[in-house]
Amino acid sequence: MQCDVYFISESTGITADELGNSLLSQFPQFSFTKRYHPFIDTIEKAEALVNQINEVAQDQTVKPLVFATMAKSEINKTLAKVNANYYELFDNYLAKIASNLGVEPRRESGLMHGLVNERQYDDRIDAVNYTLAHDDAMVLKGLDQADVIMVGVSRSGKTPTCLYLALKYGIKAANYPLTDDDFKKHIFPKELLKFREKLIVTTISPQRLHHIREKRRPGSRYASMPVCASEIKMAMDMYDRHLLTPLDVTTQSVEELATQIVRIYRTSKQIA
């Protein structure tokens, strides 16, 4: 079954996208056609969009769903007239929280994803620059400034996870791939042991590593099952020797890994 879904916001619409898609993921029976309308920040734009949605909706079997995050009540009122199942995701909660806290909400748009807190924003950009400069052990100097250092065999998902940590959380995340050089020496890199409290060592199943490497270099020795299995075994031996507990990345997404690393980082900083 098919259903049209609209994501509407005065601002980026990232929150509507996030909650809306989380909710839709619970209905895999349906095929959703998704349309995104950010920056609907005037009543005129809202009216035009309502007309557009209503016109398309006439030809649909299933009434469309609309997820909207509207900090401003007037625009919300206009949108709410749409001939669709309309879910505004702010208003209800804002009113309740306001009553809990005993203060009125600001009702301004763009407070979440705009350039509101410039210092915090600059920290995130600095973290991205740091993470890029310390990707793939390109620079070992400056690891004292890292918040976390991810370690694991090549192609086990360190880089995307580190970039996610930097972009979303402003965490300076260096990463170090264990390579033949390290395996020949049979010892965990000494430069890294200095920063033991920042280390996030990882493991992965040989099958998954083989699958990822095959896509990169099909048929290569590097991607072969024996090499993948042997590298992982050697890495695990190194971790064992230093009592480092690995995070298994095999079945985890970047978001899931990042969430765990943030938790470890915050605990170590006694933030959480």
The number of beta carbons lying within 10 Å of the beta carbon of residue 249 is 23
CB of 240 to a second copy, least distance (A): 25
CB of 80 to a second copy, least distance (A): 14
Nearer to a second copy, 116 or 187 (CB): 116
Q: Which two tokens stand for residue 27?
A: 């209905």
Nearer to a second copy, 118 or 190 (CB): 118
CB 269 within 8 A of CB 186: no
CB of 200 to a second copy, least distance (A): 16
Nearer to a second copy, 37 or 198 (CB): 37
Sign of the alpha-carbon torsion through 152, 158, 159, 164: negative
Token match 């998704």: residue?
A: 34
Q: Which two tokens stand for residue 188?
A: 């965990």
- 84 CB contacts (<8 Å, ≥6 apart)? 6, 53, 54, 57, 63, 64, 65, 66
d(CA 75, CA 73): 6
CB 127 within 8 A of CB 173: yes
CB of 118 to a second copy, least distance (A): 10
DSSP designation for 140? -
Query: In Å, how far are 138, 163, 211, 226, 267 from 131, measured between CA atoms?
Result: 10, 7, 26, 31, 21
Nearer to a second copy, 238 or 258 (CB): 258
Sign of the alpha-carbon torsion through 163, 166, 169, 173: positive
CB of 209 to a second copy, least distance (A): 13
Nearer to a second copy, 105 or 177 (CB): 105
Nearer to a second copy, 105 or 234 (CB): 105
d(CA 49, CA 27): 26
CB of 98 to a second copy, least distance (A): 8
CB of 198 to a second copy, least distance (A): 19
Nearer to a second copy, 42 or 260 (CB): 260
CB 139 within 8 A of CB 40: no
